[in-house]
Amino acid sequence: MQIKGPKEVLVSMRTDQQYRETKMLLLHKLTGIDFLTLAYSEDTKNIRDWFTGSFRYKSASEILSRYMNGKVLSCSRNTEANDNFHVFFFGGDVDVIKYLTFVAKPSYMFVQEAGVHFCSFILKKEKNSTNALVKTLSKEKLSSMSDHYALMLPYIKVNCDFAKQFTLVYHDWDVLQCRFGKVGKGFPTPDCDVFSKKYIELLEILRRHV
């Protein structure tokens, strides 16, 4: 839906600079007209509040396949439990969405590489079952249940089996922090075995003044 407007304007795009500038000016004008139309329109009943914070996958099986094979996953953090991360998929209706939940275990299989923390992410399952726990909610409640959006990036090393270890890069560029057995978010942490104690203390002082 988002590419439809630019696609109509940029059809048969040429590499000539003047042609490109003309098309970009046209795009800006059309976007401005759309904003004015929306602002002064009396009919707001059909305006849909599209959720754009996290990607929606086609199915639960697609999410599980990516999780098992060490592929990147788009997720959101639960507002009430900051170690719970939801990955969404199509719910079968335009007004609802389904999701799986992964729990970060900061003290389990923890690895620090170049200042980035990785740990085990465990799939939540149904009680007394091996099936993944699938929940459904209306799209209107998505914003209230999520406070941060992130990418789950897998920890993969050559000639090593993937062990379901991930890190997180949040939408505000903070990263996963595993401190004292708890999940947090913040700046990447310098490796103690790479930098001297004095240099790490200096970095911490600089960080406080940023």
pLDDT score of 11 more than 90: no
Q: What's the pLDDT score for residue 122?
A: 95
47 located within any domain: no
Q: Which of 33-37, 61-65, 105-109, 134-138 has the highest mean pLDDT?
A: 61-65
Radius of gyration of the chain (CA): 22
Positive or negative, the CA dihedral 116, 57, 108, 80 is positive
**Residue 146 or residue 58, greater confidence:** 58
Query: What are phi and psi for residue 87, nearest 5 degrees?
Result: -120, 125
Nearest to 106 by CA among 39, 167, 197: 167
Domain that holds residue 29: 4-40
Is 14 found in the same domain as 92? no
pLDDT score of 124 more than 70: yes
119 located within any domain: yes
- Please count the structural domains in the chain: 2
Is 159 found in the same domain as 106? yes
Nearby residues of 113 by Cβ (< 8 Å), 6 or more positions away: 155
Q: In degrees, to the nearest 5, what angle opens at C-alpha 175 toward C-alphas 90 and 111?
A: 100
In the chain, count H helices and then E strands: 5, 11
Positive or negative, the CA dihedral 189, 192, 194, 199 is positive
If pLDDT is split at 50, 70 and 90, which confidence band does 13 have? low
**Residue 122 or residue 93, greater confidence:** 122
Strand partners, 78: 146
Provide the 3-class DSSP secondary structure of residue 152: strand
Give me the mean pLDDT over the 205-209 stretch: 68
- pLDDT, one tens digit per residue, over 37-79 is 777 766 655 555 555 678 889 999 999 999 999 999 999 999 8
Give me the mean pLDDT over the 171-188 stretch: 86
Q: What's the pLDDT score for residue 200?
A: 66
Q: What's the pLDDT score for residue 207?
A: 63
Whether 111 contacts 80, CB under 8 Å: no
100 located within any domain: yes
